[in-house]
Structure formats: structure tokens, C-alpha cells
Chain A
């Protein structure tokens, strides 16, 4: 009893003594904002994290979100391109394409916005020069504009929160209702203006921080997006409470105002004469193809065109990316088990112009009768064009250099290997063996359906491990040519071009045409831009400024830069393009009916594809957490 009583006494003494401050202890592993912001190096550290969180749709952006480069980021390499008409996955059509969860960004958006608000609020109190304060405010506004742009693209009008919220015990006070879509886009452009006003043209040390030009570029892109939503709403109108309250939907009368904002922001960049197209006058299409490929292989060599780079300096989890392992053709995978995931479609390849027929898309003609409408597959009674086994790619020789710089064509060389893409062969009796692993001996030679005996020696059509292209095209844009692939996660360190001059020119041209803008010579500027982009791709014949020409140019020039997805959304073309849509392939077959054997090509649907439909409600994503945040949900969710 005595022991118990003593214990009780000591315990209560201790408790009473330390009772007071136990909940007020400061954590030893965190800094409070005062300490962090009081040191300029602390501010830079914080800012670096804000840039990390900025929703730049780059090499680590996939259907499951941003910054997918930690641990084992196994998402089959399903990038936005695979959910558009640019490409199909070697195994998946896009999982649950455009599932409402795809490309979502809500919680992370508001986390970034809060972090930026904290910085913007702290800047006036910092012990730094006025000029430095100006730059920080500019960067904060740039990041905030970027963040709200990412939210508005996905959700329409969203709650506009411009200062960090404090929790005073009342949850209801924290709930901010959605602003209208118009208010949201106006805020995005306004913030971009603040950034433009405060940011320097460059940083002395060459640091990759937002500049005035990056802010103009952001404004050009965002304004074009808003203008398109206003102009094309009626192509797929929606109804419901969110529409009635104007939380989604921009009135057509707003379009020209936003187009003008795009034009002015673009012209600020164009008139500064600071930027130019990289290697704008190539001597030949071959040179142009190589220049185009190099631009993306190392943007640091093309600083005349590049406006804003997001760098990947170190390989490793959280700092590298995975484009080289996901997308190299099977033959150059160097032991990595999941290559070959990005398969450019025949639809995309058809879009590129031919040098001898400028101003139009040039679909690949595989038969002597010149027709391209039949996608039913091999027909023994058709007269196919034939190509030597040494250069089957002769079929594409007249096509735009950017095709050659973006796509690996069958039989071309990549990383010193001849890339063999073959779907099968046609036996001397006229029957075909397609997409089945077989071999045959004919006239003393052995032929294999996929072009070589072992799966490590070819890169097309075999379903082996999902490593082969099923469209007949490989992918090379952004990939490193010289080094062997490092067969491990997160090893790529290619830098991403967030904004480049060619996009600004294309934004400008589209805005000028869509708004019938004729002031200060804009149309002739736009026509010059259109043709300078083509001249960089070795075209020698100029084409007129028409909407078709500008949109085709945009599709080709910006292919795989994560633009197509949003272009289809903002112009309300997604639901028209994707209504039970199938994607198509170009299948090379070795024709053994002739001696020596020659290649023929067959246009047909991609095997194991799924018809895809984009329902109109997917133009806006569902807002998560409606039960607790009390917001009005988007239509039909």
C-alpha cells in the first residue's frame, strides 16, 4: 500500500509539473514560416518546392497524375497522347479512357495554392531588397496563375482563394463556393498580368525560374483555351445546376476578348525578337528531321526557341523520369522488360504533309489504285506497292521531316540497330500469316512472320510482353539516341520544354483566324509564322493562312507534347472524334509471292483495340469531396 501511494504521489507530481506546456512543444524537425522566410536561402528552398508542385504536364505526367517518378511508377506509360488520336498503348487503349479520375488534380491544386498564398503573404515582410520582393511576387503570381489554369481546364469555375485560410474553430467559414467559369479565367489572366509586370526577362545566373516571357507564354496559352471554350460551347452544350449558376460555361460573346488577350500576349513575345525557331533554315529534309529530333533530345541546345524548361538533373526516384524505358522500341530496351508502350497511330502519320503536295494531309497510299478508304486488312486480289527489304521506309520518303523526327519508321536505324517492324508474310500461294508466330522456308531461305527468329530481334506486332508496336510505328521524340537505355526506373534526365516559341506562333495564328482579327498586320504576321514553322521542317512552298492549315500544323508540330488532349477539349472536338472510334495501324508484310521477297503495307484497324467514346460530361471532371466541401457538382456526375 505504501508503495502504491508513493507511486501515485510521484506520478501526480510529475503530471502536474509538466502538464502545462506538453501541447505547446515545438517540433524539432520542422521550421515555422517566419524562420524559413527570414533567410533568403530558405525562400529559395520553398520556391523550389512550389515549382516542383506546379502542374507542368511533362515527362512525369500520366493518366494517374503529376510527378509519377517515385519508387516503381508502373502505369504502363499511359500518357495523354495515348488517350487521343496521336497514339495507342501497346497493351491498353488507355485503361478506362478519360475515366473521371484520369488527369485529376484537385487536392494537390489547393495544396499548391495555399503554399503560394503563404509565400505571397510573406513577401512584403521579408528583409530583402524591393527588387527581390518584386521578383518573388512575380513568381508567386506565375505559379498561382498556372495552378488555377490547371484547375479551370479540368473543373471549370472553382473557388478562388487568394490568401491562406486560418482555422478558427468554425469549419463552415472555410468553405468557399465556386466562382463562375468566367471569373476564374479572368483571375488566371489577371494573375498572369501581375507576373508579367513583376518578372525579369531573365535571371543572371541562368536559373530556371519564371521570366516575363514565360508569363506571357502562359497567358497566351490560357487565353486561347478560354476563348475556345466560349466559342465552341454550343458544339456540346451541357445543362444542370452548375450550368444555371454559370459555374461551367462561357458565353460566346466572351470569345473575342480572350482571343485578343492571346494575340497580345503572343505578339509581346514575337515583337521582342528575343526568340526564334531553332535551326529555322535546314538544307534538306534529312537535316530538318535531325534538327527537330535534337530540339527535344536536349532543349538546352535550343535556347533561342525554348522559353521555359523544367529540368530533370539527376537520375533516381523523384528526380528522373521514364520516357526512355517506356518508349524505346523492343530491340533497344537493353534488358528493360516493358518497352515499346507508345504506338503512334496511322491517323497521325497520315496527317503529315508531303513535300510534293504541300497544304494538305498526305495519307499513306499502299496500293497502286491510290485509294485509302479500305481498312479491312490484307486482300490477296489487291495490287500493293512493293518496297525492297533494305528500305521499306521508302514509302515515307516524301513525308514531312517531323514525321521522321518523331516516329521510328519500319526498317530505319535507331541506336545503331535496324528496327524491324513486320506483321507477317504473304505465302507464295497468296494466303497471309499475320500476327502469329510462324516461319517458312521458301527457295532455300527461312522467313519469320515478325522479321527475325527471336523476340529480342524485332519490335513489332508480336504480343510478347506488350513490348511491340501494334500500329507499325515506333516512337523516338524526346528519347536519347546515343546512350544505351539504363534498364531501371526513373533514370531519364532529358529536360522538358514547358513553353516554346513554335507554340506561341501557333496560338497566335489560331486566335487571329478564330476572331477574324485584322488589326496591325496580324494576318500577315500569322501567315509568316505558319510558313516559318514549315520551313524549319524543310518545306519550300508556302501555304495560305487558313484554319485547316493552322490546325494541321499545330497537330504535327506539337505532337506528343501533351497539347492534343486539351486542344480536343477546348475546341469541343473530342466527342466528335471519339464516338465508337477505333485506331488504325499500318502493317508491313513480307510478300513471298515475288522473288526476291519485298515488303507491302496494309492499312487496317489496330488489333485488340476497343471502340472508344468520349461522353460530353467528360469535358468537365467531377469535383471530389462534395459531401464535405458543399460545392455544386459538375453536370451529370
Chain B
């Protein structure tokens, strides 16, 4: 009898626990997608980016205070995507990038949302050519700048991965410029393979990329697309 009484009490307690929490606070997970491209306003081409320490797209969700901004990183070829956002209205603005600052705008993110940014890159790398010449890798290019600031420095960057850039490189061949450039001037950068023998393995494939940095606070590099070469 005692045990039955105890058993009933226990059962009541457990049951009341389960039944009272029947209504689960099950919200949908973040399943909205935001994607887009950085498009050069003049040439209609994608603006090349760095995948780390590059342009970040800042989004601030509405309806919360305080709210921490979220950041979406750019892909090297000039796109961005985040497939795990909560559907809501956001204020969006790319930050600390390699193009003239664009104004923030409001966007409703829901389902699959696309937003392209038409931008003016600080620098365009033109007539880029990277080739193996004897023992060296030679890069030649011209620069067209779209802001009056000095071009800070230029570089040729090497890495075994296609995401090569100034932040991700095995070897860098850089030159300080610190001046406004003439769009007709041809720049040459080279990497000597034998004198970098401990880092570049002869016969292997590497990715090479030409970059230029404008002298604007917190600006990022502008690039030509990376090129794969065997050395």
C-alpha cells in the first residue's frame, strides 16, 4: 500500500512535469540566404577580394537592442553568401573594403535574397600578365586608380591554394609606391624561384596573384584574378 501511494505520487509529479511543458518553444532555425556580388560600376566585372582580412559585409538585425553586428566575408572572386540567417529586416553595409564606401541600406532577408553592390574599386589592376620566364615568375600590369589618394604598395603573391592574396601567401614580392600612379605606367614584379628553394618546390603548381593597396585607412587590396602556374 505504501509503495502504491509513493508510486502514484511519483507518477503525478513526473506527469505534471511533462504535460506542463508540452508547448515547446520551437522556433525555426536560421534558414534564410543572403547572397550577392561586388560589381565594378564601370566595367561590370566582379571586384576581386580576399577571403580573410578582406571586405566584410556588415548586417544589423532590426528589432533588438543592443544588437551585435554580424559579418559575412567576401569570396576571392567577388561574391558573398550566408545561408544561415534568420529572416528579418536588416541594415546592410559592406565595411573596410577595397572600394569607395557605399551607403547603408535596408533589406528584408527572407528565403533566398540577392543583393549586389555596385561599387567603385579604389584601384583596377589592368593588363595583368603573369608568366614563367626562365628561373623567374614575371608579373606585369598597369594600375588605374579611382581615388586621389596615393597607391601604398603593390605585390605579387604566391601560394599553393587558389585563395592566394596578401594575407595568404608563401612568398610575397612587394614594392612600396606611396604616390599617385600614371595609368600608362607598366609595373613589373618578379619572384626568383631558386632563391626561394626552401618554400617553392620546383615542378609543383602554385597560384599567383597581383595586388595593389590604396593609402586609405583600413582599405583592403585590389587584385587581378589569380593564375595557376607550374614552376
Query: Is B178 at the interface (CB under 8 A from chain A)?
Result: no
Chain B residues near A626 (CB-CB < 8 A): 66
* Interface 1/0 per residue, B186-202 and A, CB below 8 Å: 00000000011111000
Inter-subunit contact A239/B169 (CB<8 Å): no
Given contacts A239-B96, A580-B167, A580-B169, are A605 and B198 in contact (CB under 8 A)?
Answer: yes
Inter-subunit contact B53/A374 (CB<8 Å): no
Chain A residues near B197 (CB-CB < 8 A): 376
Looking across the interface, which residue of chain A has its beta carbon closest to that of B216? A237
Inter-subunit contact A374/B195 (CB<8 Å): yes
* Interface 1/0 per residue, A599-627 and B, CB below 8 Å: 00000110000000101100000000010
Complex Cα distance, B197 from A377, in Å, reads 9
Looking across the interface, which residue of chain B has its beta carbon closest to that of A240? B95
**How far in angstroms is the closest Cβ of chain B from A627?**
8
Chain B residues near A630 (CB-CB < 8 A): 66
Query: Is A390 at the interface (CB under 8 A from chain B)?
Result: no
Chain B residues near A616 (CB-CB < 8 A): 218
Inter-subunit contact A613/B167 (CB<8 Å): yes
Given contacts A580-B167, A615-B53, are A376 and B218 in contact (CB under 8 A)?
Answer: no
Inter-subunit contact B198/A377 (CB<8 Å): yes
Chain A residues near B198 (CB-CB < 8 A): 375-377, 604-605
Query: Is A551 at the interface (CB under 8 A from chain B)?
Result: no
Chain B residues near A580 (CB-CB < 8 A): 167, 169, 172
Chain A residues near B53 (CB-CB < 8 A): 613, 615
Inter-subunit contact B167/A239 (CB<8 Å): no
Complex Cα distance, B53 from A239, in Å, reads 15
Chain A residues near B217 (CB-CB < 8 A): 234, 237, 239
Looking across the interface, which residue of chain A has its beta carbon closest to that of B196? A376
Complex Cα distance, B219 from A237, in Å, reads 10
Chain A residues near B199 (CB-CB < 8 A): 376
* Interface 1/0 per residue, B142-165 and A, CB below 8 Å: 000000000000000000000000
Complex Cα distance, B198 from A604, in Å, reads 9
Complex Cα distance, B158 from A556, in Å, reads 34
Chain B residues near A604 (CB-CB < 8 A): 198
Q: Choose one: A237, A377, A605; the contact of B218 (CB below 8 Å).
A: A237
* Interface 1/0 per residue, A200-230 and B, CB below 8 Å: 0000000000000000000000000000000
Inter-subunit contact B195/A239 (CB<8 Å): no
**How far in angstroms is the closest Cβ of chain A from B222?**
18
Looking across the interface, which residue of chain A has its beta carbon closest to that of B56? A636
Looking across the interface, which residue of chain B has its beta carbon closest to that of A580? B169
Chain B residues near A374 (CB-CB < 8 A): 195
* Interface 1/0 per residue, B75-99 and A, CB below 8 Å: 0000000000000000000001000
Query: Is A309 at the interface (CB under 8 A from chain B)?
Result: no
Query: Is A498 at the interface (CB under 8 A from chain B)?
Result: no
**How far in angstroms is the closest Cβ of chain B from A619?**
13
Interface of chain A, main secondary structure: loop
Query: Is A568 at the interface (CB under 8 A from chain B)?
Result: no
* Interface 1/0 per residue, A78-110 and B, CB below 8 Å: 000000000000000000000000000000000
**How far in angstroms is the closest Cβ of chain A from B51?**
14
Interface residues of A in 262-301 (CB under 8 A from B): none
Complex Cα distance, B217 from A583, in Å, reads 28
* Interface 1/0 per residue, A571-602 and B, CB below 8 Å: 00000000010000000000000000000000
Complex Cα distance, B197 from A237, in Å, reads 37
Interface size on B, residues (CB 8 A): 13
* Interface 1/0 per residue, A347-381 and B, CB below 8 Å: 00000000000000000000000000011110000
Interface residues of A in 520-559 (CB under 8 A from B): none
* Interface 1/0 per residue, B46-78 and A, CB below 8 Å: 000000010000000000001000000000000
Query: Is A238 at the interface (CB under 8 A from chain B)?
Result: yes
Looking across the interface, which residue of chain B has its beta carbon closest to that of A636? B96
Complex Cα distance, B33 from A366, in Å, reads 58
Complex Cα distance, B169 from A605, in Å, reads 16
Looking across the interface, which residue of chain A has its beta carbon closest to that of B167? A613
**How far in angstroms is the closest Cβ of chain B from A122?**
37
Chain A residues near B195 (CB-CB < 8 A): 374, 376
**How far in angstroms is the closest Cβ of chain A from B168?**
8
Given contacts A580-B172, A615-B53, are A239 and B218 in contact (CB under 8 A)?
Answer: yes
Looking across the interface, which residue of chain A has its beta carbon closest to that of B171? A580
Chain B residues near A375 (CB-CB < 8 A): 198
Chain A residues near B196 (CB-CB < 8 A): 376
**How far in angstroms is the closest Cβ of chain A from B155?**
11
Complex Cα distance, B53 from A25, in Å, reads 58
Complex Cα distance, B110 from A133, in Å, reads 67
Complex Cα distance, B196 from A377, in Å, reads 10
* Interface 1/0 per residue, A44-85 and B, CB below 8 Å: 000000000000000000000000000000000000000000
**How far in angstroms is the closest Cβ of chain B from A235?**
10
* Interface 1/0 per residue, A440-474 and B, CB below 8 Å: 00000000000000000000000000000000000
Complex Cα distance, B172 from A626, in Å, reads 39
Chain B residues near A238 (CB-CB < 8 A): 218
Complex Cα distance, B53 from A604, in Å, reads 28
Chain A residues near B172 (CB-CB < 8 A): 580
**How far in angstroms is the closest Cβ of chain B from A2?**
22
**How far in angstroms is the closest Cβ of chain B from A1?**
18
Chain B residues near A239 (CB-CB < 8 A): 96, 217-218
Complex Cα distance, B226 from A408, in Å, reads 46
Chain A residues near B169 (CB-CB < 8 A): 580
Complex Cα distance, B31 from A490, in Å, reads 53
**How far in angstroms is the closest Cβ of chain B from A245?**
14
Complex Cα distance, B107 from A555, in Å, reads 52
Complex Cα distance, B172 from A40, in Å, reads 65
Looking across the interface, which residue of chain A has its beta carbon closest to that of B172? A580
**How far in angstroms is the closest Cβ of chain B from A480?**
39
* Interface 1/0 per residue, B172-190 and A, CB below 8 Å: 1000000000000000000
Residue with the greatest number of chain B CB neighbours at <10 A, chosen from A237, A580, A615? A580
* Interface 1/0 per residue, B15-37 and A, CB below 8 Å: 00000000000000000000000
* Interface 1/0 per residue, A235-253 and B, CB below 8 Å: 0011100000000000000
Chain B residues near A615 (CB-CB < 8 A): 53
Complex Cα distance, B10 from A444, in Å, reads 86
**How far in angstroms is the closest Cβ of chain B from A175?**
13
Complex Cα distance, B39 from A109, in Å, reads 48
Interface residues of A in 287-342 (CB under 8 A from B): none
**How far in angstroms is the closest Cβ of chain A from B224?**
20
**How far in angstroms is the closest Cβ of chain B from A302?**
44
Complex Cα distance, B199 from A626, in Å, reads 44
Chain A residues near B66 (CB-CB < 8 A): 626, 630
Complex Cα distance, B199 from A517, in Å, reads 47
Complex Cα distance, B217 from A234, in Å, reads 8
Sample 6 A-B pairs with CB under 8 A, ordered by A number.
A237-B218, A376-B197, A580-B169, A580-B172, A605-B198, A613-B167
Listed in ascending order, the chain A residues whose CB lies under 8 Å from chain B are 234, 237-239, 374-377, 580, 604-605, 613, 615-616, 626, 630
For the complex of A and B, the 10 pairs showing the least CB-CB separation, nearest first, are: A376-B198, A237-B217, A376-B197, A377-B198, A239-B218, A580-B169, A615-B53, A237-B218, A605-B198, A374-B195
Listed in ascending order, the chain B residues whose CB lies under 8 Å from chain A are 53, 66, 96, 167, 169, 172, 195-199, 217-218
Given contacts A237-B218, A239-B218, A376-B198, 11 further A-B contacts (CB under 8 A): A234-B217, A237-B217, A238-B218, A375-B198, A376-B195, A580-B167, A580-B169, A604-B198, A613-B167, A616-B218, A626-B66
